[in-house]
Each structure stands twice: as C-alpha cells, then as structure tokens.
Amino acid sequence: MIDAICDELILRKVEAQYWSVEHIYFGGGTPSLCTSEEITKILETIYQHYEVVSDPEITLEANPDDLTFKKIKALVKTNVNRLSIGVQSFFEEDLQLMNRAHNSKEALQSIQQALNYFSNISVDLIYGIPGMSLENWDKNIQQILNLAIPHISCYALTVEENTALKKMIANKKIAPINEDLAAKHYQHLVERLRKSGYINYEFSNFGKPGFFSGNNTAYWQGKPYIGIGPSAHSFDGTSRSWNVANNAKYIKALEAQQLPSEKEILSTTDRYNEYIMTGLRTQWGVSKKKVEEIFGSIYINYLEQEIIPFVEKGQLREKDGNIYLTQESKFIGDGISSDLFFVD
C-alpha cells in the first residue's frame, strides 16, 4: 500500500506543476497505524517530486489508542508537525455507544503525552449523542479548555446505515438522534469557545489565532488539492476525481502504472453551488464580487434576488460586499445554502 501511494504521488506530480504544496494531511482511515518509516517514505516522495513551501503544515490524524508514548516519540522523528486526535468524548458511556476502540483514560492520556512534543494539536469532539446532557457536553468542552488545545473540530453525531448504532436505535435500545438537542449543544459550544478566545472560522472548526487548520481553510476556500490513496477525492478548480474504494484494485492499478480513478467535469452551476455551500460555512462568507467575476452576471443577479427573504428574516447579513450567515442561523446553514442554489 505504501509503495502504491508513492507511485500515485509520482504519476500525479504534473497536476501540481503550477502551484506549491502548502499542506500535507494524513487522514481518512487510520494513518496513525503507519510506522514513522512509512510516513517518512511518503513525505520524502512528496519532497522529491513536488514543490513544497519552506514550512508546510503536516497533519496526521490519530486515534487515542494508537498514540502511545513510543508512537509519539517516533512521530517526532518525522516531519509531522500537527496532530488531529479523534477523542470524540471523555465519557466512557459515549465512547462505548459509538463503538470507539479507545477508552476515556486513553483519550486524556494521549493528549497529555502529545502536548509534551507537539504544540499544534487539534481534538475532535462529537455532540448530539443520545442521552448526553448539556452538563456532560460542557464538561467535554471544559476538558479541552483545561488542556489548552489550540484547535477543536466538533461534529454532530450522524447515524450511518448498517451500523450497531443504527440497529440499537431501530430496536429502541437507545433514543434516536435529537436535532433540537444537537442545536443546543452547538450553540453552547460556540458561546463557550468564543468567550475563551477561539474563532469559529468554519461551522465545525474552532481555532485560536494562528492555529486555524491550513488544510481545512484551503478546502473551504475552494483551493485545489490532490487526494492520494484508496477512496481519496481530488479537486483542481474545475473538476473532481476519486480513486477506487478497494485496496486490492488500487494497488493492482498502481503496479501497472495506471491511475485507478474516475473524473467529473463540474459545470459553472456546479461550481457556483459549491462556492455558496462552502462559503457560507466560513467566517469569510460569500463574496459578491467573486461570484460576478467567476460565474457572471446571471449568477450574481440570481444571488442578490434570492438572499432578500433570508436577509429580511435575519438569517443572512451583508457587509462590505460579502454575505454571511447570522450566528442564530448557522445550525441551519446547509438548508439555507441549498435554497440559494442555482437550478438550471
């Protein structure tokens, strides 16, 4: 697999011939299972075949049960300079409900040990968990504040098909997802972190100044990226591509020096709709000037007309030529975005 990943990186270097690599993100699956030697091999391949900025953000996603003292010491020897730790909750009952491999003790210890070697750390938390009281959710947030973690990513619990959680809800062993509870958790989260100096720069992401995720920011601002590995998605500004979601097929294709991917050319309307969706999720909002310059008069005229009722209801606001979600409407932002989509 590591050899195939390196082969794909080499085959696709032409895609980055006009821009420099600013962020490298080891995510999707469980990259913390990789050895330091495997991580270094991938990074060396990138540096040999791509133009990389002098101080790139290099993030590795890690599960708490993987972040042993030995593992952290090994990661220090690589060029990884940022960790994203999938804690999800500091409560045992929540972790068991979500079928997580780690326990609450490992969750706390992994962060404490990592802080001895990494200053740039992000922690993932899940809200809207059935049975989670606002008091317990606040304790999760407080634990992050006590540890002085500079970046937090928080996501509402979603129930996927064919999972144990889905079956437990269907069998009424646990309560179903409560969107009102999730909304209360989110609003409490925003207020607590705002008072503690965090900036909600994207709906699910909160960072202290200087600690925004460069990878996340680039994604939400529509910059091109290359996704490497099985199931990985890529975007070049006008098209999307995605790799086969099968390890064996992926490796076999790369052994034959073939790219195991499919490609979709995005229409102007596709790109406009994606910009509306991603832009409204961020603190930078949607630029009317950008809409007119990139997509043309039809789209800016449409947008200006469609936002009127949302502005009147206090769900959207305009300032300096940009359109933003109001704080009160952030939790329903995806619905508002879809209402602003251009339909051919």
Strand 82-88, strand 121-127: pairing: parallel
Question: CATH assignment of 20-220, given 3.30.750.24, 3.40.50.740, 3.40.50.970, 3.30.750.200?
Answer: 3.30.750.200
pTM: 0.92
User: Distance between CA atoms of 214 and 192, rounded to whole angstroms?
Assistant: 23
112 Cβ partners below 8 Å, 6+ apart? 147
**Would you write out the chain's pLDDT as a tens digit for each of its 344 residues?**
999 999 999 999 999 999 999 999 999 878 999 999 999 999 999 999 999 999 999 999 999 999 999 999 999 999 999 999 999 999 999 898 888 888 899 999 999 999 999 999 999 999 999 889 999 999 999 999 999 999 999 999 887 776 666 777 777 777 777 889 999 999 999 999 999 999 999 999 999 999 999 999 999 999 999 999 999 999 999 999 999 999 999 999 999 999 999 999 999 999 999 999 999 999 999 999 999 999 999 999 999 999 999 999 999 999 999 999 999 999 999 999 999 999 87
Structural domain boundaries in the chain: 20-220, 279-340
CA angle 68, 72, 74 (to 5 degrees): 115
- The pLDDT, as a whole number, for residue 98 is 84
- The pLDDT, as a whole number, for residue 131 is 85
The count of residues in the chain is: 344
> Which of 164, 331, 175, 236 is CA-nearest to residue 17?
236
Question: CATH assignment of 279-340, given 1.10.10.10, 1.10.10.920, 1.10.8.60, 2.60.40.420?
Answer: 1.10.10.920
